[in-house]
Amino acid sequence: MSDVNSTADAPRSPGRPRSVRADEAIIEATLDLLAEGSTIEALSIEAIAARAGVGKATIYRRWPGKDALLLDALRRLKGVVAQPAGHSVRDDLVLLVGAVGHNIDPRAERIMPCLVPEVNRSPDHFQLYQNIIEPRRKLMREVLRRGVASGELRADLDIEVAMALLTGPMLVQRLLRWHPDLDDRLLPEKVVDGVLDGLRAD
């Protein structure tokens, strides 16, 4: 575990123990500031400290720098991966597609777009991002493969393209609100059904 505040075997601390309250406040302040639109690079230890009602030293005591702090903070957003039921491929896809770009913490909705430039700029961050979403992608890949095996989906299906078709519309909607007058809640169903059935007239 790379969390700074590791809860491993408590080493007898001689002096005053670290304030758990401060820990939480710092992380929360970081996420709040990001959610309010601050760019990653514009985010400063100073601002975080001020927002958290904490001295800067308290932050430097825990993290070596902004990057490490951000890493821990963003880890917070990563919700549990939804588990498909495994009955109907269609229903499983609806579930997974609905989870695309959806995070438990409502702040994530505002934060994720702000990370786009960073992810595009830095290969490291790009890789990190890929690592985070890979489990979810894998899940969808398996559902698709199951569909192919069961005959529900075309035998010659290109899995990667299919995933792009399914996740793209949702992601664009959640990230960019590209189509302002589409209903978020109904979209997963519509996307899955639309992609499954195709647009062509029978």
Partner DNA sequence: GGGTTTCGATACGGCACCGGTTCGTATCGT
Partner DNA sequence: ACGATACGAACCGGTGCCGTATCGAAACCC
- Interface residues with DNA (CB under 7 A) are 12-19, 21-22, 25, 42, 44-47, 53-58, 60-62, 65-66
| Side-chain half-sphere exposure of 86, counting CA atoms within 13 A | 1
Residues 17 to 56 in contact with its own copies, rule: CB under 8 A? 37, 39, 41-42
**CA proximity to 101, closest of 121, 118, 115, 87:** 115
Contacts of 145 (CB under 8 A, 6+ apart): 159
13 binds, among its own copies, DNA, none (CB under 5 to 8 A by kind): DNA
Is the distance from CB of 89 to CB of 150 less than 8 angstroms? yes
Query: Is the Cα dihedral 37, 40, 44, 45 positive or negative?
Result: positive
State the binding string over 114-143 for its own copies (x if CB under 8 A, else -). x-xx-xxx----x---x-------------
Which residue's CB is nearer to DNA, number 1 or number 10?
10
In the block, which residue shows the tokens 């399914």? 166
Which residue's CB is nearer to DNA, number 19 or number 83?
19
18 binds, among its own copies, DNA, none (CB under 5 to 8 A by kind): DNA
